[in-house]
Amino acid sequence: MCGIGGCVGGQATKELLRAMSALTKHRGPDDYGEYVDRGVAIFSNRLSIIDVEGGHQPIFNEDESLSIVFNGEIYNFAEMRAVLEAKGHRFRTRSDTEAILHGFEEYGTGVFAMLDGIFAVALWDVKERRLVLARDRVGVKPLYYTKTRTGDFAFCSEVKGLLAHPDVEAGVSREGLYYLVSLYYVPFELTLFSGVYKVQPGSYFDSSTGAVTPYWRPPAVSAGPVPTAEAVRDALEQSVKRQLVSDVEVTSFLSGGLDSSTVVAFASKHYPRALKTFCLGFGHDDDELADARRVADHFGTDHHELVISDRAALDLYPEMIWHSEQPKLNTYYWFIDEFASRYAKVCLSGIGGDELFFGYPTSARFTAFRKAQQMMKVPGASMLSALATGRRKALLAKVNDRAHSYLTVVSPVYGTLDDTVFSAPITEFRDRLTERMRSSYFGDAGADFVQQATSAEFGTKLPDDFLAVEDATSMAHSLEVRVPLLDNQLLDLMLPVPYRYNYGHGEGKMTLRRAMAGVLPEFCFRKPKHGFSLNIVKWWPGEFGEEIRRVVSGSQAVKKYFDVDALKRLMPAAGGSYSTLSLLWHVYAFHVWHEQFVEGGKEKVRAAARGLAV
């Protein structure tokens, strides 16, 4: 893993690269490399995993007309190398990075679809003065870019690196803020930073055209044959085995649930020594420590546990926001990532299993999706909105507008509070969000609505919420997190499978359950699903609630972007409503984010780049 970045334009200097590097050094503390030429500068902060000694970046092709900086891991690089060498390409290193470089020489942008791995990559063609950026299929590794008012184009693994550019100011995107409060994450190419954008998953940017182009789209859901348990089991085992490739130690998270236990089952089978595993608890009755311990004992792992207090999460929250670069609630990954990083550089995770195998059948949002689908079949259902209130009223009013229905279910404010909690009109943003969701996921009025909603979750919430937070918190501690359940082979096998084949008798992951029968101990299948969540309802009556009330009343950033009186009217009911309290938390988190990035401005960035406290 690495942190990469660069600039094309007048400010493409060594000084800029060193500042960008300092702000992202945590992503790759093992090595630094740079390339600077007329109007172009690129750098890499390297976390050395494969070809530790020889994989220094940037890497150049044979005649040095093409260079690359790369963040991630490619699991099929050895196979690609063999093919490319047979075609006459000469390699200088053993690294996976160089396989992408020569692959781009041979296949152009077609190489990205051939890569099995997690990656963000930048390639510079010296002769054509052409920059190409690309991200992996599902967006495990981030890549941001911006164009300055003076015409420079800058890119980086983290937004804070872009802020090192003298012409890039940290400002608030009001549309990004609306998306954040509506969904608790910012989907698609937008960010919370004005003028800063993401290269979207499965896409590449080409400076020769100025366009971002998809090279991969999730396969369509098909009514064809469902994969057998044996086929799924084999794909799971091969995916985990592939992702054990490393020149340093590989470890794994373990919660005792189906996803992480599946990963550990196959990793412990194929890893040449005792696999280290890690589990996090908060000291609550529903902690998963005992479950993880039983799985660890079953597979003979070298198991390690960490118990933290709720208070610890609150105390470190500003630092978490600095690294995540967005206001978030569940940043608990921070603690287990830091814990694992004490032992190793690489850790496997079960992230993606819920999205791939339909793991949320009893969650409130998927229950609401099914209810909405039922209402869509009732003639004249919209007329019932006159008898309803709140979110149910909003849902019924446009029940056959599928994008509207989806957003009403998942959002705490969409169509209900969004016209009141913001300080400026948001109708334009709401309409754009609705249309983008409609065109991306809900265009077919005859399709299964729950299936469409599941696809929307995979395409937005997975990369822009779960994976984004995991990348930020793991790389803050120089830890590479791999996601075997999102391996290309599994994506190709499972994404075409309708969700209903993974759902039965109130349980999800039926395909995974059948595949892992006889591999996992029986108690794994009986374990109820738990999700890590900070207990903010418990905190509300105490100092945490007081802090939110203080911030809402006194923060200039909150006053600028929100209607403070409307927020105060929500407070009396907050203690009994997780949804309301989550909304207030995100307003509070926005204040913390604004302090970190906007109010601190360039001075904070410069001080951070120098390694000084502000």
DSSP class per residue in 538-601 = HHTTTHHHHHHHHHHHH-HHHHHHB-HHHHHHHGGGGGG-HHHHHHHHHHHHHHHHHIIIIISH
Q: What is the pLDDT of residue 106?
A: 96
Q: Of 181-195, 358-372, 418-432, 459-473, give the lowest mean pLDDT range.
A: 358-372
Residues 457, 101: Cα–Cα separation, whole Å: 33
Other CB atoms within 10 Å distance of the CB of residue 14: 11
HEC states along 513-532? HHHHECCECCHHHHCCCCCC
Give the per-residue pLDDT at 436.
Answer: 97
Whole-number Å distance between alpha carbons of 4 and 468: 16
219: cis peptide before it, omega within 30°?
no
Task: Identify the three-state secondary structure at position 323.
Answer: helix
How many C-beta neighbours within 10 Å does residue 86 have? 8
Provide the token pair at 364: 């409130």
In the predicted model, what is the mean pLDDT of the chain? 90
| Phi–psi pair at 404, nearest 5 degrees | -60, -45
Nearest Cα to 323, choosing from 535, 186, 470, 179?
470
Examine the pLDDT at 612 and tell me if it is beyond 50: no
Q: pLDDT tens-digit profile of 113-160? A: 999 999 999 999 999 999 999 999 999 999 999 999 999 999 999 999
Q: Which of 529, 536, 532, 591 is nearest to 558 (CA)?
A: 591
Distance between CA atoms of residues 325 and 464, nearest Å: 12
Position 412 scores a pLDDT of 87
CA atoms within 13 A on the CB side of 265: 23
**Mean pLDDT of the 514-543 span:** 80
Q: Which amino acid is at 73?
A: E
Name the band, by pLDDT with cuts 50, 70 and 90, for residue 614.
very low
Q: What is the pLDDT of residue 314?
A: 75
Whole-number Å distance between alpha carbons of 151 and 484: 40
Question: Which amino acid, residue 329?
Answer: L
Q: Of all helices (H) and strands (E), which one includes residue 23?
A: helix 14-23
Q: Is the pLDDT of residue 241 over 70?
A: yes
Q: Quick one: pLDDT at residue 30?
A: 87
Read off φ and ψ for residue 269, nearest 5 degrees: -70, -40
Nearest-CA neighbor of 406 among 381, 386, 435? 435
128, 134 contact by CB (below 8 A): no
For residue 606, what pLDDT is reported?
67
Rounded to whole angstroms, the Cα distance separating 200 from 164 reads 23
CB 376 within 8 A of CB 521: no
Alpha-carbon distance of 360 to 258, in angstroms, equals 13
In the chain, where are the structural domains located?
2-214, 538-609
The Cα 441–Cα 459 span in angstroms is 9
Collect all residues with Cβ–Cβ distance below 8 Å to 521 and sequence separation of at least 6. Answer: 294, 295, 298
pLDDT at residue 42 above 90?
yes
Give the SS3 label for residue 537. helix
Q: Answer yes or no: are the C-beta atoms of 143 and 135 closer than 8 Å.
A: yes
Summarised one tens digit per residue, pLDDT across range 280-339 is 987 776 678 999 999 999 999 999 999 987 677 777 888 999 999 999 877 778 999 999
**CA-to-CA distance for 244 and 249, rounded, in angstroms?**
9
β-pairing, 40-46 with 59-60? unpaired
Residue pair 327/589 in contact by the 8 Å Cβ criterion:
yes
Amino acid at 19: A
Digit-coded pLDDT (tens) for 564-609: 999 999 998 888 888 888 899 999 999 999 998 998 766 777 676 6
Neighbouring C-alpha atoms within 13 Å toward the C-beta of 358: 28
Query: Are the beta carbons of 212 and 138 closer than 8 angstroms?
Result: no
**Quick one: the chain helix, strand, coil %, rounded to 5?**
50, 15, 35
% of residues, the chain, pLDDT over 90:
71
- φ, ψ at 281 (rounded to 5°): -135, 160
Which pLDDT score, from 0 to 100, does residue 54 have? Answer: 78
Q: What is the spatial distance between Cα 449 and Cα 373, in angstroms, rounded to a whole number?
A: 6
Neighbours of 387 (CB within 10 A): 9
Q: According to the model, what pLDDT value does residue 328 have?
A: 85
Our separate counts of H helices and E strands in the chain read: 28, 17
Q: How confident is the model at residue 386 (pLDDT cuts 50, 70, 90)?
A: very low
How many CA atoms lie less than 13 Å away from 523 in the CB half-sphere? 10
The verdict on domain 2-214 having CATH code 3.10.150.10 is: no
pLDDT value of residue 380: 57
**Looking at residue 526, what is its pLDDT?**
82
pTM of the model: 0.94
- Highest-pLDDT range among 8-22, 306-320, 329-343, 356-370: 8-22
Q: What is the pLDDT of residue 387?
A: 46
H-run or E-run covering 346: strand 346-348
- Signed CA dihedral, 261, 49, 91, 12: sign only: positive
